[in-house]
Structure 1
Amino acid sequence: MEKIVFLDSATIPSHICIPSPSFPHQWESFEETSSDDVLNRLKDATIAITNKVILNAELLAQLPSLKLIAIAATGYNNVDTDWCKANNLPVCNIRGYATRSVPEHVIALAFALRRNLNAYHRDIELGVWKEKNQFCFFTHPIGDITGATLGVIGSGSLGQAVAILAKAVGMNVIRVERKDVTSAREGYVSFEEALMQADILTLHCPLSDATRNLIGEKEFAKMKPTSILINTGRGGLVDETALVEALKKGEIAGAGVDVFTEEPATNSNPLLAHSGLPNLILTPHVAWGSDSSLQTLANQLTDNLNAFIKGHPNNLV
């Protein structure tokens, strides 16, 4: 009988049903697990499920019973996959489950920032309408989405889905080449050109040494002062301090951020420290989290476990 331990089950809301695996098993679930408790909770486990709990080489070396790590998310930078490959420990993840939820979140942020909805809401709360004494007032520019140019960094399933939805609402979409590539592929715009062309830049690439701080001070200086940055990818893709400075100096017009360098983010994070900026919208890593996407994730998680036990593992990383 397999022993399955889910280390951070609170990352999936309680109203989402995780189907029971089809093989004999013991299921143990913890809403959250601190680094001090991981070893004890996994000591007899044959299958570990984690969303964000870190499983490093030192820890994994002490878990000889472990047969599979199932990640309840797409990103797997919390697991030492190099160690797992060297020691023949399979790791699987979830794929393609949020291709509705993330694109809708991106487009929602694009509309809100392009039309300065947050800024106008804030002005009403501050009493600006009463001061103006008119039926309406224009304290911030209002831009259209139709005809705007969207630069998509990342050509995976999410980037592609965002592009489809953006085109449906009348946006011009450009696919952005990797930063370190000198000659852009056919159908792609070079990274430098995209910085200068895009009205809205949206990030959907993995976080790695090559993409860490992909957008920083130098990149903001090349963007249009009317441009918007949206990050629903990974927090480390953007230099958060540089982003705040770019917003305050007017180097870009706005930003929508769903992911942070450390999560949960604290008040020491420069974005939270400046969360009152009218052109900054923050959400707590929920772009992926529509009910339909969460149920798809839960179903795929169980499918991955069943496939592994049957000898035909899915979604290995």
Structure 2
Amino acid sequence: MGQDLSLRSLLSATLLPPNEARILLAHLLDKHYQLSRSALLAHDDMELNAQAFEDWKFIESKRLEGEPIAYLIGKRGFHNIELKVAPGVLIPRPETELLVDIGLCEIKRIAKETGAAKVLDLGTGSGAIALAIAHEAPSAIVTATDLSSEALAIAMANAKRLGLDSRVQFTQGNWYDALNDKTLFDIILSNPPYIANQDIHLTQGDLRFEPISALTDHASGLTCLEIIISQASKYLKPGGLIAVEHGFDQSEAVEKLMSDSKFFDINKGLDLAGKSRTVTARKVHS
């Protein structure tokens, strides 16, 4: 008697949590049969063909080894858009959507007062922040930078797939070094590497598989934030807004960096767990 390759049997036999197994099987159904995730419920007696089953065993084993689901299926949802992701970029996370919401709120305010807002996304990675803003705010003029050519290639591919490639300018370089003109921005947003070197979290969960340069500054966790904040005034319009993401225990340190750099109206933003994950501030009016 042959092996039972039905979806029901595979879901029953796997050591993966049921929700993870369903996500991975849905990905294979789309890849091999162009079937939606609903097929898991409507056709759970359906059997995978030999190639699809081989792919299932491979992707199942990779997940059991801890490889992130987003890398295995090659995509991740983020603030009303879907992004292509690969091991060369950080996997977008829900807390980073806070920066998008902050940016969109400021864009709306500016639209009522002066018109189109100029937005800078420093360290764009997959393009998550820049593309989510361009998608939601068609009037915004968005620039996105990254030091990694691999990350920029993924971000630009995402922009093209989403039909936003004419709306976002991508440029390569280390933070503000990527900017080759004297453009002043209304809004600067950044989710930089902020995990301290040797932090135990770098050896746990999804972080083990993500690009180390996107996670840690190989120092205190504050050096990239310090560069971004200390130099921001040169690139912000008077009254312009800067918003950065930081670690769950870095709020006070980041607020001090903002204060030391002569910003005002300094505020923290909380994630869904009630922890401070962003700090916003404004450049003084000259």
TM-score (norm 2): 0.41
Which structure has greater strand proportion? Answer: 2
